Amino acid sequence: MLIVPLYLYMYGKRLLLLIPLLLALLFSACKKPEKFSEIPAIEFVSLEPSEDVSDGTDVCLIFKFQDGDGDIGLDEYDTQAPFDTSSIYYYNCFITYFEKQNGEFVEVETPSTLNMRIPRLSDNTPESISGEIMLNLFANNPFSPYDTICYELFIVDRALNHSNTITTSEYITN
C-alpha cells in the first residue's frame, strides 16, 4: 500500500512540471490565421530572365501579395461591369514600362498593353490570403535603342481596392 503513494509522490512532481510544457506545446500548435488589411498589399521579389520563353516573353516578375478578404483575381466569366472589356477594371494588374534614357527612367508607351488579368486566387472569401505571383513579361522594345528597363505595378481586388505600387529592379535587355 505504501508503494502506490510513494510512486505518485515521486512521479507526481515530474508530472506537474510536464503539464505546463504540454499545454504550452498544445496552444502553440493552434496557430490563429493571420489577419491582413482588406486593401491588397504587394512587395517586389525579383525580375529575372524567363525560364519559359515558349510564349515569347523575356522576363519573369515575381511579387508577394497579401489580402485580408481574399478577393484578388477574376474569373474568365467576370466580364460584367465594372469588369467589362470597355472598363479600366477589365484588368486587375496594371503594369507600366520604363526605360533608362540618359541616366533617368522614363515611362514608355508600349505597342500593346502590359496590363493583365490575374485569375481568382480563392473561392473561400472572405479569408486572409498571401503568396507569390509570377508574371512573364516582354522586356525587349524593338523600337528603342535603350537597354535598361524596369516596371511599376499595382493590383486591384474585386472590391476595386488598389494595392500599393511597387517598382522592380533594373533589368538589362539583350
CATH number at residue 152: 2.60.40
Let me know whether 45 and 79 are in one domain: yes
Let me know whether 69 and 122 are in one domain: yes
Residue 158 CA to residue 160 CA, distance in Å, equals 5
| Residue 3, pLDDT score | 47
Let me know whether 163 and 129 are in one domain: yes
Burial class (CB in 10 A: 0-12, 13-18, 19+), 139: buried
Let me know whether 24 and 47 are in one domain: no
With beta carbons less than 8 A apart as the criterion, state whether 99 and 157 touch: no
| Residue 132, pLDDT score | 95
| Residue 55, pLDDT score | 60
Let me know whether 77 and 16 are in one domain: no
Let me know whether 83 and 147 are in one domain: yes
Return the minimum-mean-pLDDT range out of 89-103, 123-137, 158-172: 123-137
With beta carbons less than 8 A apart as the criterion, state whether 97 and 113 touch: no
Return the minimum-mean-pLDDT range out of 6-10, 127-131, 164-168, 169-173: 6-10
Taking the whole predicted model, whether its pTM rises above 0.85 is answered as: no
User: Mean per-residue pLDDT for 100-123?
Assistant: 92
76: containing domain: 41-172
Residue 120 CA to residue 88 CA, distance in Å, equals 18
Domain for residue 36, yes or no? no
User: Mean per-residue pLDDT for 51-56?
Assistant: 65
Residue 63 CA to residue 163 CA, distance in Å, equals 12
Cell matching residue 112: 500593346
CA-CA distances (angstroms) from residue 93 to 49, 108, 143, 154?
Answer: 20, 18, 25, 6
